[in-house]
Every structure is written in C-alpha cells, then in structure tokens.
DNA sequence: GGACATGCAGCAATCGGTTGATTAATGATT
DNA sequence: AATCATTAATCAACCGATTGCTGCATGTCC
C-alpha cells in the first residue's frame, strides 16, 4: 500500500508540499513551468489524493447515500442505477443501504450515513417508519434529504414521487374504457402513503366516470398473499372481469392464480398493473401496465439533489409522469 | 454539522485530548473515575469519532467493496444482501459498484475502491474482462480480493463459486431420469468460465449416462435472444422434449416462447433451469430447478474474506453446493 | 530522608492535504 | 537608489484522532 503523497512528490522535485498541491489545482500563483513538472511526475507516480485527508480538511466527502427498503427489486434497482450513473458523472460516490423495511435498521443506517458524512441522502422510507426524527437529525446537520417513491406524509421535505394519483387514474380510465363491470383492485401495504394515494385516485376515477362499476379492494402485501386473495376471489361467484395490480409482487401472485384457474387473459379476465416494466413483459399476452420508471425517478431525484447541494433550495415536490403501455391483457 | 469532537469533550472536562481519547478506549493508564466521567459526557454529547480522521491516522477504513456486473439481478441481490448483513454485524461498511459488464467501467470502479481504501473486495468479473492487472493492483496493495460466481480463470486467487459443474450435472441427471430423448441446452455467454464449466459438465453427464440422447446446445445472451432461439427451435421439426436453461434470463425467454406456441409443460416439453429461486416459482407448474443460492454464496464469501483479513490466508477455492428443487415442469 | 516503582495525565508528532499569510526575488516607477 | 507592485514559492496552522514518550505526584521500602 505504498501510496504516493504530496510529500513524496515535493521531495522528488525539491519543492514544498503546498506548491505541489497548488500546482495540481492550477492555482494562479504557480508558474506554468512548475505546474507541468509537477503534473508529469504526478501521473508518472500515479499520485492520487488521499480521500480521507481531503475530507478531513475540507469536510467534503463527495459521498451520496441511498437508503431503500431493499435492493432486490427492479424498481429500486433501476433507480439506483440511474442515480449512480449521474453521481459518477458529477464526481460523487454512492453508498447504498437497505432498511429491509425495519425502522430499527433504517435508523442504524441513517447513523452510518452520518458517520460517513454523506453530503446528501436519497431515501425511500420503510413500512414501519413513523418517527421522522432520525431523518431530521440529518437535516439539522445540513445534509439534504431527498425522499423518493415512498415519501413521508409530512410537509417541508424534498420529495420526488411517481405521479401516483395519475398512474392509478390512468389505469382506472383504461379499465373503464374497456367497459369492465366488476373490478378487483389490489393494493400494497395500506400504511404507505403511496398506497393511500393510488387507492383514493383509483376509486375516485370510477366514481366520477363509471359509478356503477362494482369495485372490490384488497391489500395483499406479498406475492403469496396476493396469490391467495386472487385465488379466493376468482373462484367465488360473480368473478371480476378485470384486476388492477398496484405492483409487481401483486401482479405475479395474480397471474399465478389466473394460470392456476386456467383463465384466459384478456377474454376471461382483464389485467392491468403499475410496473417498472420487466414483469409485465414476461407473460403472454404481455400485461398492459402504467409505467413508473425507476430510472426516470432516479434522474429527476439526482437533479433535485444537485440543486439542494448548490443553493439552499426550498423544499419542493416533483413527480415523474406516467405512461400507459398497452400489452394486450385488458 | 456541529459534531462533537475529542477536543470539545476535553475542553468541557478540562482535561487533555489524549486523556479523553484513552479514556474512551479503556486504556489502563486512565483512572476509572476519569473514564466514567468521560464516557458519560461522550454519550450525552453524542460523540462519534470522525471516521475520516480515524482512517487517516490508522489506515483502517472498515470498508468492503462489492463489484458485480449489475445489481438488478436477483442472484447478485441476494448475494449482496448476505454480505451486507454479515458486514454490518462485523462492523464493516459496504460499498457497491456495478461494472455493467464493461471492462472500462470495471477498471474505473476498481480505481474508486482503491481510492476509498477498501480493506477487501468481493468481485464478480465482467464479461469483457480479459486483463487482470487492475485486480492485481489491489492485491499489490495487500487488499484481498475474493472472486465470486464469475471468477477469473487464473490460479492464485480466492474464489467462491457455485458448484457449477455439479449443478449442471444434477440437472442433466434429472433430465436423463425422465428418459428425455431430445434435449436443448441453453447456456449464457460462452466467454465466461461459468458457462464453459456448466456446459462441459452437462455434455459429459449425457455422454456418460445417456449417450444416445440428441443434444442441441446454444448460447443466447439475453432474454430476447433466448426467446428467439427457443421459438426457432421449438417450431422446427423434431422438437426437443426437454430444455435446460442455465439462468433466469434464458428461462424467461424460453417460457415466453413455450406460452406463445401454446405448448404444455411438462407434457409437451420438460423444462429445468438453474436459478436463485424466484423466477421458477412464477410459472405454473413451477419450474424444476437446481438452486444456486446467492445468499449462501454471500455467507461463504464473507467468511472467506474474514479469514483473508485476519491472517494471510493461502488462496483457496470454495464452492456452494447445489440442490434440486422439484417443481413439476420436467 | 533518599531511591525507586507505580498510577495518571499531558505533550507533541503524525496521518495527507488545504489554505491564508508571508517572504523572496524580479521588474517597473519616480 | 529607494519604493512599490507583481509573481512565485514557502511557512505554518489546521482538520480530528492516535500514540510513544515524558513528567508529576504519590506511595513504598530500606
């Protein structure tokens, strides 16, 4: 681990450490002559500034944190991919942590982020999160937090969300357009604001444009629950003629049930979901879905973060627009 | 960002910085009396040692690097989850980077790892990787590298692999037991050692136990290629009666083709794969697969890393055993 | 009472950079 | 020749924690 340091460079060239430091930074005080000499030696010796020393002195870590419930999830994956890409382009490194939907792990991770002095944090809160003080601690230290996707239901934070209401509305409208009469809407954890918003918008759209539709709502939280709920309801009488799935997990469970019961999509039953894009394309016919791009979300969130880092931006809520991708399942 | 520091503590208590530092570390030179006073104040003021200062002084970053081709992949996800869990328990932080299967990004990331002074690295090499010097640079700096899954075909490295040959053999044996006559084997990128090993073992098993089997081999690299290849071959005459899919991507493509052609699994065609576990369970009947657990791999790799970090362990190759999970598709 | 061991705490250098203040050298001005 | 501006490089303090060495009290023993 024989790193070359400013000291080593300065000794070789017989000049002072500070001159070397400034030469490498193109400081106007240093002559062109010296600059080129220093730079040449620096590349020759593969000089790399010691991150920890720089951070200690400047208090600039160039580190951004990402906190998500879990990374084994295509939505967050594409989000992370987008952020990481932009971060690298802007000279930031990224530290990723998972809360696993436990408030306790979330708090521990926030602590680690602080300890590592991230300059900003992207966070999607866990299902359990009720107390926002651990997040506030970051803000107290002037570390901007940009909430994404699953955001806190509190004012005064930077938030970048999917157009949740819009996405649910688009899905509802698509169902209405197909003149479906008995609709099953499956949503995620009822505690999350994202669920509440989508569910409310979904119901509202039906009330407004097709009040006679028979709407059944349920909240399965896992693939298995979704499977069970779907099987139960699809086996019952007055089977729905369309199912809306709020997320991939639910969709997977529903499709399993549909195959199990040997129902034909879309003739026996129409299916529509909200998804990042992979899973709906695995089925035949492909599932019609409202796209919620983690990638776009990441790009937008990063832009938001940059403006936070530059000036003390006022809290703002931004949304990623939704798009209906027709797949033939409705 | 008003962190409390040793200096602040020392000023409050009216003792020197070094005494505070030693008190917090239970150094024998310090009296119990002082120790308790210091510790109380430390917790009261939420003192946290500054990571960067500690690292600068001690050259211990307690950071581990993980380099994988991509994180949007259930196998690597579960691997990362396992490593992260163990790392946290042992007081390490984890820095994750993706090579996106580009040698250039891989090298850039390795550079970042060095810059951040990771104490050890887990790496799954990219498809493009031919030159191992960027990895060697880490080893030169005494940073242990544990290769996982997609390992270098070179001696002298720590490697933790799936039992690739074994997994392919188990799959082949399962196919043979079902007395299938015309088998299509689909493998991944032919450049990777993992592909070569699995393919060789697969063929070998047939030659040994069922030499009369008609074996067709292909190497689709993406979902779409897999879809195309499967459609083409399944539409041809002398349709295979069993398909082996080396990975999830291939399986997804194959299943799409099978549904498209309205073939019945397992009556018209048997399917078996190698997988981490999620995708095979999405279909009905569930796909029979040889389990290759990213989670177990992670646990094993971390253990290996720990022993590397402790003593200068001799290079060693470890494998995760494989397990056949019957799903009804063969 | 003097020599010595022991307990407890402080001094100061160090890790590798950064940066404001300062010095030295050169040339221009009067 | 003395003064001043300009350029180019050095000095030295600093970020926060660690650690070898030193120094001061006490207490003990002969």
Nearest to A1 among B71, B141, B282 (CB): B141
Is residue A1 very low, low, confident or very high in pLDDT (cuts 50, 70, 90)? very low
Is residue A284 very low, low, confident or very high in pLDDT (cuts 50, 70, 90)? confident
CATH fourth-level superfamily of B61-162+295-320: Response regulator (3.40.50.2300)
Sequence ranges of chain A with CATH classification 1.10.260:
2-49
Residue A17 CA to residue A47 CA, distance in Å, equals 13
Lookup: tokens for B178: 């079902």
Calculate the angstrom distance between C1' of C27 and CA of A29.
17
**pLDDT tens figures, B234-255:** 998 889 999 999 999 999 999 9
- Is the CA virtual torsion A158, A163, A164, A166 positive or negative? positive
Residue B51 CA to residue A39 CA, distance in Å, equals 30
- Contact indicator for A78, A276 with CB cutoff of 8 Å: yes
Is residue B2 very low, low, confident or very high in pLDDT (cuts 50, 70, 90)? low
Q: Is B84 on the interface with A (CB under 8 A)?
A: yes
Q: Give backbone dihedrals phi and psi of B202, rounded to 5 degrees, phi first.
A: -60, -50
Mean pLDDT of B52-69: 90
Taking contacts as CB-CB distances below 8 angstroms, the residues of chain B near A53 are: 52, 56
- Bases in strand D with any atom closer than 7 Å to a protein CB: 7-12, 14-21
Which of B250, B282, B293 to substitute to test the interface with A, most A CBs within 10 Å? B282
Residues 16-35 of B with CB under 7 A from strand D: 17-18, 21-22, 24-25, 29
Residue B266: is it exposed, middle or buried by C-beta count within 10 angstroms (0-12/13-18/19+)? buried
Residue A247 CA to residue B269 CA, distance in Å, equals 31
Q: Is A98 on the interface with B (CB under 8 A)?
A: yes
Residue A61 CA to residue B48 CA, distance in Å, equals 17
- Contact indicator for A301, A309 with CB cutoff of 8 Å: no
Strands B270-275 and B288-291, by their bridges, are: parallel
Mean pLDDT of A43-58: 89
Predicted local confidence at residue B179, as pLDDT: 94
Going through chain A in order, the beta strands assigned E by DSSP cover 63-68, 93-98, 120-123, 145-148, 158-162, 182-186, 214-218, 242-245, 270-275, 288-291, 317-320, 323-325
Is residue A173 very low, low, confident or very high in pLDDT (cuts 50, 70, 90)? very high
Calculate the angstrom distance between C1' of D4 and CA of A30.
22
Nearest to B71 among A80, A93, A112 (CB): A80
Neighbouring residues of A26: CB distance < 8 A, sequence distance ≥ 6: A35
Lookup: tokens for A114: 């602080």
Mean pLDDT is lowest, of A212-221, B148-157, B168-177, B267-276, for: B148-157
Lookup: tokens for A14: 């017989």
The answer to whether the C-beta of B281 is closer than 7 A to strand D is no
Predicted local confidence at residue B229, as pLDDT: 94
Lookup: tokens for B111: 């550079």
**pLDDT tens figures, A86-107:** 998 888 888 888 898 999 999 9
**pLDDT tens figures, B82-132:** 998 899 888 888 888 889 899 999 998 898 888 888 999 999 999 898 899
Query: Of A60, A114, A142, A113, whose CA–CA distance to A312 is shortest?
Result: A142
Q: Is A78 on the interface with B (CB under 8 A)?
A: yes
**pLDDT tens figures, A238-283:** 899 999 999 999 999 999 999 889 899 899 999 999 998 888 988 8
Query: Of A207, A205, A198, A181, whose CA–CA distance to A274 is shortest?
Result: A198
- Bases in strand C with any atom closer than 7 Å to a protein CB: 7-12, 14-21
Residue B19 CA to residue B21 CA, distance in Å, equals 5
Q: Which helix (H) or strand (E) holds B67?
A: strand B63-68
Mean pLDDT of A155-175: 92
- Mean of the per-residue pLDDT values of chain A: 90
Neighbour order of strands in the sheet with A182-186:
A214-218, A182-186, A242-245, A270-275, A288-291, A323-325
* Residue B272 Ramachandran class (φ > 0 left, ψ -120 to 50 alpha, else beta): beta
The answer to whether the C-beta of B6 is closer than 7 A to strand C is no
- Are B284 and A256 within 8 A, CB to CB? yes
Is residue B1 very low, low, confident or very high in pLDDT (cuts 50, 70, 90)? very low
For residue B202, give how far its alpha carbon lies from the nearest alpha carbon of chain A (Å). Answer: 27
Half-sphere exposure of A305 (CA within 13 A, CB side): 29
> Is B68 a residue whose pLDDT tops 50?
yes
B164-291 maps to which CATH number?
Answer: 3.40.50.2300
Selected residues 110-169 of chain B with any CB under 8 Å from a CB in chain A = 112, 114-117, 141-143
Q: Is A321 on the interface with B (CB under 8 A)?
A: no
- Contact indicator for B288, B70 with CB cutoff of 8 Å: no
B2-49 maps to which CATH number?
Answer: 1.10.260
Is residue A312 very low, low, confident or very high in pLDDT (cuts 50, 70, 90)? low
- Contact indicator for B293, B79 with CB cutoff of 8 Å: no
Calculate the angstrom distance between C1' of C29 and CA of A37.
34
Mean pLDDT of A12-35: 89
The more confident residue out of B139 and B214 is: B214
Which percentage of chain A shows pLDDT scores above 90? Answer: 52
Neighbouring residues of B183: CB distance < 8 A, sequence distance ≥ 6: B175, B206, B213, B214, B215, B216, B240, B241, B242, B243, B244
Predicted local confidence at residue A2, as pLDDT: 55
- Contact indicator for A125, A106 with CB cutoff of 8 Å: yes
Selected residues 100-119 of chain B with any CB under 8 Å from a CB in chain A = 108, 112, 114-117
> Is B202 a residue whose pLDDT tops 90?
yes
Strand partners, B323: B291
Query: Of A272, A281, A277, whose CA–CA distance to B224 is shortest?
Result: A281
Lookup: tokens for A278: 């992979």
Predicted local confidence at residue B62, as pLDDT: 86
Is residue A85 very low, low, confident or very high in pLDDT (cuts 50, 70, 90)? confident
- Is the CA virtual torsion A189, A191, A197, A202 positive or negative? positive
Sequence ranges of chain A with CATH classification 3.40.50.2300:
61-162+295-320, 164-291
Which percentage of chain B shows pLDDT scores above 90? Answer: 50
Structure letter (DSSP) for residue B263: P
* Residue A289 Ramachandran class (φ > 0 left, ψ -120 to 50 alpha, else beta): beta
């Amino acid at each position: 681990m024989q790193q070359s340091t400013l000291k080593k460079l300065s000794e070789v060239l017989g000049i002072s450490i500070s001159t070397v430091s400034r030469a490498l930074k193109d400081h106007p005080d240093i002559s062109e002559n010296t600059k080129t000499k220093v730079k040449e030696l620096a590349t020759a010796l593969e000089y790399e500034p010691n991150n920890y020393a720089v951070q200690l002195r400047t208090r600039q870590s160039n580190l951004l944190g990402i906190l998500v419930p879990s990374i084994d999830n295509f939505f967050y994956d594409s989000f992370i991919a987008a952020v990481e890409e932009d971060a690298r382009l802007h000279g930031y490194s990224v530290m990723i942590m998972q809360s696993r939907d436990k408030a306790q792990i979330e708090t521990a991770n926030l602590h680690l982020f602080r300890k590592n002095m991230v300059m900003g944090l992207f966070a999607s809160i866990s299902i359990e999160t009720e107390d926002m003080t651990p997040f506030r601690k970051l803000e107290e230290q002037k570390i901007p937090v940009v909430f994404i996707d699953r955001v806190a239901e509190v004012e005064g934070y930077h938030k970048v969300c999917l157009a949740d209401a819009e996405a649910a509305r688009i899905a509802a409208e698509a169902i209405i357009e197909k003149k479906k009469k008995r609709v099953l809407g499956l949503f995620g954890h009822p505690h999350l604001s994202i669920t509440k918003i989508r569910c409310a918008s979904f119901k509202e759209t039906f009330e407004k444009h097709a009040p006679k539709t028979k709407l059944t709502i349920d909240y399965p939280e896992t693939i298995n629950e979704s499977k069970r709920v779907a099987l139960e309801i699809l086996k019952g009488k007055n089977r729905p003629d369309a199912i809306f799935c709020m997320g991939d997990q639910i969709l997977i469970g529903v499709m399993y049930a549909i195959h199990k019961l040997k129902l034909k999509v879309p003739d026996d039953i129409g299916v529509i979901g909200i998804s990042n894009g992979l899973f709906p394309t695995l089925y035949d016919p492909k599932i019609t879905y409202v796209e919620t791009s983690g990638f776009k979300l990441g790009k937008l969130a990063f832009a938001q973060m940059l403006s936070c880092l530059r000036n003390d931006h006022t809290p703002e809520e931004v949304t990623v627009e939704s798009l209906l991708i027709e797949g033939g399942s409705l």
